[in-house]
Each structure stands twice: as structure tokens, then as C-alpha cells.
Amino acid sequence: MFKYYLQLGLRSLRRNPVLTALMVLAIGFGVASSMTTYTVFRAMSGDPIPWKSDKLFFPQVDAWGPNPRNGTEPADAMTYIDAVSLTRDHRAHLQSALYPIAPTVHSDDPTQKSRTAPGQAVDSEFFPMLDVPFLYGGGWTAADDEQHARVAVISKSLNQRLFEGTNSVGQSIQLDSHSYRVSGVLDDWHPQPKFYDLATTDAFGTADQVFLPFTTATDAQLATRSGFLCIKLPGPGWAATLNSSCVWIGYMVELDTPSQVSTYRTYLEGYAREQQASGRFGWVPNNRLRDFSAWLDFEHVVPPQTKTSFVVALCLLLVCMVNTVGLLLAKFLRRSGEIGVRRALGASRLAIAAQFGVEAGTIGMAGGVLGLMLTWLGVQVMHGSLPRQFAALAHIDLLLLWQTLLLAVVATVLAGLYPIWRAMYVRPALQLKED
């Protein structure tokens, strides 16, 4: 029966090519506008670690109190004092302080120039907490953290440049004026957004190439490459920076159960009260423990302009659907005589609904194909108009293909509900009498 209704629908579409083209264009343009903006929105608001994101949390300790810069919200980064205290107390299953660094990499090959490498100073638990994939070796140990060992994890691309892609575990690399032993080489790993360091760097920045122990990096006085905020500037010297109220260190923890989350919140409250009692904080404790999705929202990973564009595109799709309602209504009611004959011969209202529903779905499929082509064109335009880090996120994959076709068919069928309802209730006696 479906095949029969499909044949009837195609025959009807061929009889009215102009009306059919208008409906296909309306659906195609509406779907294309929505899916083009959705490609960027999806990538920017996506979950780069979906199997574990519900266990990742980002604590904030208010080291400034009420101030014009943040209002009632604590800063998204921590002071060195607070980060070290949380690490020492170790109340989470896994945890890591971190801050972005950019040491200069020196090569033994005289033909290669020395260049800076973006990276992170982290604790040893950073790698298992984020399930970071390794090509060779692995991360360093907790003992290396305590001993301030000069070890490093490097990216696959840096390993290719320095060691031609061979297993470099145990080899040495020169970073600034110190030599570090390679403990592991990452496999391809560049989460987008770079959720683990939203507090201090660009969410869609370049991939990190080198990771050093947090304790070793602070010993070497490696300055953060971004995100150093102060209410009052510290005194001269590195020691003054470490003991200042400046915030520049990110922090994240893994909490596996609701009980652990509750316990950690209680711990943060107690820690802040201890700092208040000692005279370091002169305000009521004001901490936060945001989960993964709340953290992305707090850091405004998806720019407001992107959300606005997506809403505008959905509104355009709605307008196109309204136009399609009118076109389908005109098309279906022009066939009242045909409907009357079918009803007189015994066709049920559900059979009439099925016939015109299949026809509407066929129009939606054609509009979806057109929408795919226009979406591809829109993505190409985005690549030329958006900033490079955002444009790189916009791409068409198999999932987007099916989503586009499904949206087109569903939108057209929804637009056809009222015209189909009107067609179902055409009075056969009246139509036969007029004929």
C-alpha cells in the first residue's frame, strides 16, 4: 500500500511542478539555515568526554570576596595557596591542579629552530582522570609529583618533530634551560572544547604539546601563559606571586558518586571557614562545585551570538513551515473531487490521511536533499567568514546527513497535519454532486 501511495504522490507532484518546487525550496532553505548554524552550535556545545563527564567537577574557592570584577561569583581560577591546599588534603577520587605554560623546546638537530610549545603543568592524576590516550609509555607517578621530578609527557606531533615518531620514552628533551625525561607520548588527543582549562585559556585553542608536573613547573618558575588576574598586584619575585591572592590556577576533580559530591561540598565549606577563622578570608565562605555542563555554561563556551543565530535559524524554519502549510492546503483541497470519489468507493479517512502523509513525506525528502546541498554551501561560507578556531568545528558528517533528512521529513509532515486533516473531512456527497 505504501508503494501505491508513493506512486500517487509522485504523480501528483509532477502534475503541479511549480507548486512542488515552491514547497521543496521552502523546506530546503529552512532546513539548510537551521542545520548550518547547528553544525557550529553542536560542536561548540558538545561533550568531548561523554563517558565520564558526569563525574567531573570544577571547584571554586572565593579568594577575593565581594568585588566589582566578579560580583558575588568566585573567580573561575584559584590562588596557588588554595590549589596546593586542596591537593594536599586530597578529598576527591582523582584530582589535579593545572595552569597553562609555554616552554621553549630546543632540538638537538641544528636545522630545527627552537620554538615555544603550548602545554600544561598538571598533577599525575590528570591523565587517568581524563582517560588521556597514550601512544607510548604513560604519565608520571605520584612519587614524581612529590619529588618534583623533571619528567614530561609530550604530544604525538612534538614526538614526530623531535624523534621522527619513534618511541621516545626514556629520552630527554630540553625545555628552556632544563632537561626532562619523556615518560609518555600522547596519541591523538585534542578535546573540543578544551574543557579542562577553560578558566585560563581559549576553549578552542591549539592542542597542548607538553605536560609537566605541577610541582616541577612551579619550581622552574614557569609563568602561566594566560589568565593571571589580581585584585592587588603581588610584590616582586616568584615567591611573592605564589603567596599572593592572584588567581591563575585551574582545578578539577573526579567524584564518582553523589555521596562523594556531597562530601566534597562539605569539605570546601569547611576549608573556607578555616581560612576565614585564620584571618585570610574576611567574608562569608562563597564556594562553588560545578559539574561539567554547568562549568561549560559558566565559562560561556558557546558565544551568545551563536545561540542567537541558531534561534533565528529555527524561527526561519518555522516561517518556512507556515508557508508550506498554505501550499499543501491549496494543493490538497484542489483534489477534493479525487478525495470524494475515493471516499465514495469505500476509502477510509485513515487511508486518505496515509496517502497525503506519504506525499508530504516525499516533499520533505526532496527538501532534505536540497537542504543538504545548501547546508554544505553554508558550511563553506562559514569556513571563510568565521574565526579559524570556530570554522574548523563546522563540518558535515554522516550523523548530520541523517539529521538533516529527518528534520526535513518531520517538518514537512508536521506542516501537512492541518491540510491532511482538512482532506480527511472532505464531504464526498458534496463533491460528487458538484462534479
**Per-residue pLDDT tens digits for 211-235:** 999 999 999 999 898 778 888 878 8
9 plus 26 within the same structural domain: yes
Q: How many domains does the chain have?
A: 2
Q: What is the pLDDT of residue 45?
A: 66
249 plus 267 within the same structural domain: yes
Average pLDDT of the chain to the nearest whole number = 84
Last residue of one domain, picked from the residues 264, 282, 298: 298
Measured in degrees and rounded to the nearest 5, phi and psi for residue 175 equal: -120, 120
109 plus 237 within the same structural domain: yes
Polymer length in residues for the chain:
435
Separation of alpha carbons 261 and 269, rounded Å? 13
132 plus 29 within the same structural domain: no
Give the domain extent around 72: 53-298
- Average pLDDT (226-253) is 89
371 plus 259 within the same structural domain: no
Give yes or no for residue 60 having a pLDDT over 60.
yes
- Average pLDDT (52-76) is 86
Q: What is the pLDDT of residue 79?
A: 95
Lowest mean pLDDT among 59-63, 338-342, 362-366, 399-403: 338-342
At 389, is the pLDDT very low, low, confident or very high (cuts 50, 70, 90)?
low
Alpha carbon 148 to its chain's center: 34
Last residue of one domain, picked from the residues 298, 322, 348: 298
The listed range with the strongest mean pLDDT (89-98, 292-301, 337-346) is: 89-98
190 plus 233 within the same structural domain: yes
At 70, is the pLDDT very low, low, confident or very high (cuts 50, 70, 90)?
low
Q: What is the pLDDT of residue 323?
A: 80
79 plus 33 within the same structural domain: no
Separation of alpha carbons 142 and 193, rounded Å? 28
Total-model pTM: 0.72
Tracing cell 534561534 back to the chain, one arrives at: 311
Give 199 or 59, the one with higher predicted confidence.
59
**Per-residue pLDDT tens digits for 158-168:** 999 999 999 99
30 plus 66 within the same structural domain: no
- Average pLDDT (92-118) is 90
Give yes or no for residue 313 having a pLDDT over 60.
yes
